[in-house]
Amino acid sequence: MLDIDPGVVLLPGLVDTHVHICEPGNTEWEGFASATMAAAAGGITTLVDMPLDSAPVTVSTSALDIKRRAAQGQCAIDVGFWGGVIPGNLDELGSLHDAGVLGFKCFLADSGSGDFPPVDGRQLTAALRVLRELHAPLLVHAESAEAAAAVPQARGRSYAGYLAAHPRGLENLAIAQVIEAARTTGGQAHIVHLSSSDALPMIPSARGDGVRLTAETCPHYLILTAEEIADGATAAKCSPPVREAANREMLWSGLNDQVLDLVVSDHSPCTAMMKELDSGDFALAWGGISSVQLSLPLVWTEARRRGFTLTDVASWMAERPARLAGLTGKGRIAVGCDADFCLFAPGEHFVVEPDRLHHRHPVTPYSGRTLSGVVRGTMLRGRFVTGERPQGRLLARATS
């Protein structure tokens, strides 16, 4: 029997479907052991790895094999994989699906990795057509490459300059493109890390027409605001960018209205040097925020102030991500599901100290911030995750 403190709530183990693990190839940025320990410390029991930051990128079954071998025996929690869609790998999608990826990811703009180029509109449509037959979702980084090319790039320490170089229109245009591609093909599309609140009204409109569309946002868009990001504070650089406070409030409304389905970390790590903390140059710094360990208390801190409940949070951060990834045995406390739990003390508080973060490079824009909610323990299949012996499994489609 578990002896649980009355101030502790039993949540379903969280499911984070947007985590970049860079092993093999860029393990000095992040690896399976460090990322999964950080996730476990944050109450997450399942994560799904993005296909682009390792070498090789996960765009073929041979690359997936290499990735799985690298992960084997290292994972503190369960790990699944997204496959990649890039120009020219359409013929690989069926075999990647058979090999167990949970779905696919593509970019419509530069991914930052030369090995993972973006697809154009024709290729997006072709991929959705193939994936419809496989019953697999296509996760899309929705920023328009054509529109981005026309915007002058800002250099230097100004956050306003960085924001101006990544206007909402890049997202709005790309999300409209994804909607039309999903409409014409009948494929299932998912918008990752939605930042532009302008795009929200398009989503229920499309769903009303029968378009199969879901969307996520991330803790940084729900917590940070452009107004408070100091010039040179590149720890907060991500892409698409954190926007204004009014935009943040619209994203919370999007969650309330169920226009946004889920909240996932987009844990996107790199070395401290790549964050250009000394120069503070937003053009040079890596775009990505490492937050897998903090996503639950970050979201809860803001959610409770707005009157949301832990049931809402569990829906955004466990049940719906599991559904996106087709993990029917995850994300819920229910008979037949895995006994994955997060023991959470919602009324407690703590101050973010980078030294206590388990991910490889403890660079964080949240240092010194007081957050509500403390993860007291994480259980995977009924056993506490201690880190002494990795007990995570590598998940394949339809096995969980």
**Footprint of Zn ion (CB under 5 A):** 266
- The two structure tokens encoding residue 262: 């889920």
- Cα distance from N-terminal residue to C-terminal residue, the chain: 25
Task: State the chain's maximal CA–CA distance in angstroms.
Answer: 61
CB of 252 to Zn ion, least distance (A): 21
Nearest to 295 by CA among 322, 265, 251: 265
We find the least distance from the C-beta atom of residue 265 to Zn ion, in angstroms, to be 9
Rounded to a whole number of angstroms, the minimum distance from the CB of residue 269 to Zn ion is 11
Spatial distance between the Cα atoms of 162 and 153, rounded to a whole number of angstroms: 8
Structure tokens at 87: 């120009």
Which CB atom, from 266 or from 312, has the smaller least distance to Zn ion?
A: 266
Q: Which helix (H) or strand (E) holds 336?
A: none
What's the CA gap between 346 and 301, in Å, rounded?
A: 9
Supply the minimum distance, in Å, between the C-beta of residue 50 and Zn ion. 5
Q: Please name which of 170, 209, 174 lies closest in space to residue 191, comparing C-alpha atoms.
A: 174
Based on CB atoms, which residue is closest to Zn ion, 266 or 338? 266
Question: 137 Cβ partners below 8 Å, 6+ apart?
Answer: 103, 104, 131, 188, 189, 190, 214, 324
240 or 390: whose CB is closer to Zn ion?
240
Provide, rounded to whole angstroms, the least separation between the CB of residue 268 and Zn ion: 5
Smallest distance from Zn ion to CB 90, Å: 22
Q: How far is the CB of 359 from Zn ion (least distance, A)?
A: 15
Tell me how far CA of residue 333 lies from CA of 1, 10, 12, 345, in angstroms. Answer: 17, 9, 6, 18
Residues in the chain: 400
Single-letter residue type at 189: A
- Between 59 and 379, whose beta carbon lies closer to Zn ion? 59
Give the integer Cα–Cα distance in Å for 289 and 313. Answer: 21
Output the smallest distance, CB 3 to Zn ion, in A: 39
Q: Phi and psi at residue 322, in whole multiples of 5°?
A: -60, -40
Task: Name the residue among 68, 71, 69, 65 with its Cα closest to residue 36.
Answer: 71
Q: Which residues pair with 105 in a beta bridge?
A: 84, 139
Which of 171/266 has CB closer to Zn ion? 266
Closest approach of Zn ion to the CB of residue 194, in Å:
12
> Residue 56 has which token pair?
């090789």
- The closest residue (CB) to Zn ion is 266
Residues 6 or more apart from 306 whose CB is under 8 A from it?
252
Three-state secondary-structure class, residue 353: coil
CA–CA separation, 339 and 380 (whole Å): 6
The pair phi, psi for residue 299, each rounded to 5°, is -70, -40
Which residue lies nearer to Zn ion by CB, 49 or 266?
266
Task: Output 113 or 367, the one with its CB closest to Zn ion.
Answer: 113
Shortest gap between Cβ of 141 and Zn ion (angstroms)?
7
Q: Token pair for residue 153?
A: 């790039």
